[in-house]
Structure 1
Amino acid sequence: MSNETQIRAFIADWFARFDRLDPIEAFLPDLHPDVDWDMPDTDPALSGHNRVRAWYAGVLDTLQRPTEHHVSNIQVTPDTAQFEVLFRARMTTGETIEAHVRENWRFDTRPDGRPLITSYSAKLLQETDS
């Protein structure tokens, strides 16, 4: 399996876990302990896994299962991935949310070829509430 194929499969699996809202323990092994986590609504005083945990606790408090992530326009280099995500979810308040996001990842490649994410950034391109 080529590196690009393995990265694309990893991205698909990552977002399948998010669609199910798997426990945080399903994600942390794929994130460097000092990951640069650049996501909206994150406490800037926290860093690494602590920042990810805080962000994800907010996700679990706000969203209902399942969510939907549709990934497109994937571009992979040996240590980066850039792509767009169309995200849809129902909030615990009953409203639905839809957002179009650009994600940029930097990663180290583990001996088995899978990425270990060192930097994770998601920037909102467009959002709609209903």
Structure 2
Amino acid sequence: MRTLTVGLGGKVTEIFHQPACPQWALEQIYAALRARTWEDRHAWARRVFPVLRTRLIQAAAALPADSDAVPFAQALADLVQAQSLTSGSLSLPQWNEILHRHFPPPPGEHPGPGPVPGRAPNF
């Protein structure tokens, strides 16, 4: 049996075990426990996320309309809503669309997504 471990700084350690090796058995037990812990945490997160999202939206709605925090709270609520509709992470274009909607560019700057027509991309 062979195990590979990546440590701090990216150092890879390779260990060969005999089939009856106690260390190998312990590593398998710990790996199963880590997997179960990860599954439990994600199951809890799936149960709790809708409640937390609702609290965030209610708190954002409760802000006074003239508060400087309103665009930030609304952007955060939209980001959380968009995240709830995906099984992974939001893509950079999704972030850009949401932030652009709440924080539009100043007048004279290119307002939409994509490159500015007739201008080289600014990398």
Normalization by structure 2: what TM-score? Answer: 0.21
Q: Normalising by structure 1, report the TM-score.
A: 0.21
Greater percentage in helix? 2
Say which one has the larger Rg. 2
